[in-house]
């Protein structure tokens, strides 16, 4: 088999993609994993400090530790993972599937999409392109002594604000609603960290000359506008799926999530999907389970074993 011809290609090396690859390797089928950044997904690339407490057997470990163990395990089974090689396009060509990256063009019999949630969602306000506006938090220590506004009301926003406060930054949350959409555990952690919360508050404008200096905030209940000084703005307002990419592939979506059947098959023969891009429960246990199932069914599709 040519190096560019593989039986199964997994797109994405987060928990879902790694689980799929491990399952395929277990059945001794040929598999290649393509990852746009570092193997491990968002846990390693965006939030390596996050505690992983909802995955059985990994209590007390952070994202870096968990992903390092996952990647080590998969590579130990002989799986090739190509990092920093984003997939640009996927096309069905007869019985084969062409996968184009920034480096190579591959041919596969089956493809598993495990691309995660996509790009961070932007606010669409003036000044969002200023230096100091960020969308993830790889290193909370980098913000010691800084005033930082965290925008959002979900688990990621609360975890980031609490971690920043613990690392001697002065964090504040602006949330457009009057209650959080987060777990009780993260709400308690935020309260223990003594993070100030601006309820019913939206960002009107981020102001500065080249970099963040102040932020204009508006209370959406009473209309009162205020301006606060900040060094940074962390936008944790969810993610926007890569609809352009999914549209080019031609897979069916609903509410920006890839539609799959119970066997993790998309509407295109030979293309499967798993993990956050499917959107059933955006957590590691679900991603690993779906990834394993997608890997098993991709193997059955390619090999057609007698027990299929």
Q: What are the pLDDT digits (tens) for 173-230?
A: 999 999 999 999 999 999 999 999 999 999 999 999 999 999 999 999 999 999 999 9
Distance CA 241, CA 23 (A): 26
- For the entire predicted model, the pTM comes to 0.92
> pLDDT per residue over 102-111, tens digit each?
999 999 999 9
Dihedral over alpha carbons 112, 284, 103, 3 (to 10 degrees): -50
Distance CA 168, CA 163 (A): 9
From the number of C-beta atoms within 10 Å of its C-beta (0-12, 13-18, 19+), residue 111 rates as buried
Q: Using alpha carbons only, what angle is made at residue 70 by residues 303 and 239, rounded to the nearest 5 degrees?
A: 90
What is the structure's pLDDT at 234?
A: 98
What is the structure's pLDDT at 3?
A: 57
Class of domain 120-235 (CATH, top level): alpha beta
Class of domain 5-118+241-303 (CATH, top level): alpha beta
Structural domain boundaries in the chain: 5-118+241-303, 120-235
Tokens in use for 189? 């952690």
Rg, the chain, Cα only: 21
Averages of pLDDT over each 10 residues, the chain, 308 residues:
84 97 97 96 92 87 95 98 96 94 96 90 96 96 97 96 97 97 95 97 97 98 96 92 82 90 97 93 92 98 84
Distance CA 260, CA 258 (A): 6
Domains 5-118+241-303 and 120-235 share a fold: yes
């Amino acid at each position: 088999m040519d190096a560019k011809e593989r039986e199964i290609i997994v797109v994405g090396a987060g928990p879902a993609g790694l689980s799929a690859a491990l399952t395929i390797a277990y059945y001794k089928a040929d598999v290649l994993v393509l990852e746009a950044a570092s193997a491990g997904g968002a846990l390693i690339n965006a939030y390596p400090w996050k505690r992983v407490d909802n995955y059985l057997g990994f209590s007390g470990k952070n994202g870096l530790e968990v992903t390092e163990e996952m990647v080590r395990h998969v590579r130990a089974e002989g799986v090739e993972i190509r990092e920093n090689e984003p997939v640009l396009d996927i096309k069905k060509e007869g019985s084969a599937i062409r996968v184009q990256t920034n480096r190579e063009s591959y041919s596969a019999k089956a493809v598993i999409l495990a691309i995660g949630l996509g790009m961070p969602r932007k606010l669409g306000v003036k000044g969002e392109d200023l230096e100091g506006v960020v969308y993830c938090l790889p290193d909370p220590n980098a913000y010691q002594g800084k005033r930082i506004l965290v925008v959002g009301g979900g688990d990621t926003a609360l975890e980031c604000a609490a971690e920043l406060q613990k690392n001697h930054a002065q964090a504040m949350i602006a949330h457009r609603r009057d209650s959080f959409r987060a777990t009780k555990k993260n709400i308690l952690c935020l309260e223990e960290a003594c993070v100030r919360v601006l309820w019913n508050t939206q960002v009107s404008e981020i102001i500065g000359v080249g970099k963040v200096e102040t932020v204009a905030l508006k209370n959406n209940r009473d209309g009162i506008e205020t301006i606060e000084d900040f060094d940074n703005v962390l936008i944790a307002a969810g993610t926007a799926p890569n609809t352009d990419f999914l549209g080019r592939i031609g897979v069916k979506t609903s509410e920006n999530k890839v539609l799959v059947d119970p066997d993790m098959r998309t509407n295109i023969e030979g293309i499967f999907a798993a993990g956050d891009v499917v959107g059933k429960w955006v957590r590691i246990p679900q991603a690993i389970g779906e990834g394993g199932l997608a890997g098993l069914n991709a193997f059955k599709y390619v090999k057609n074993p007698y027990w299929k």
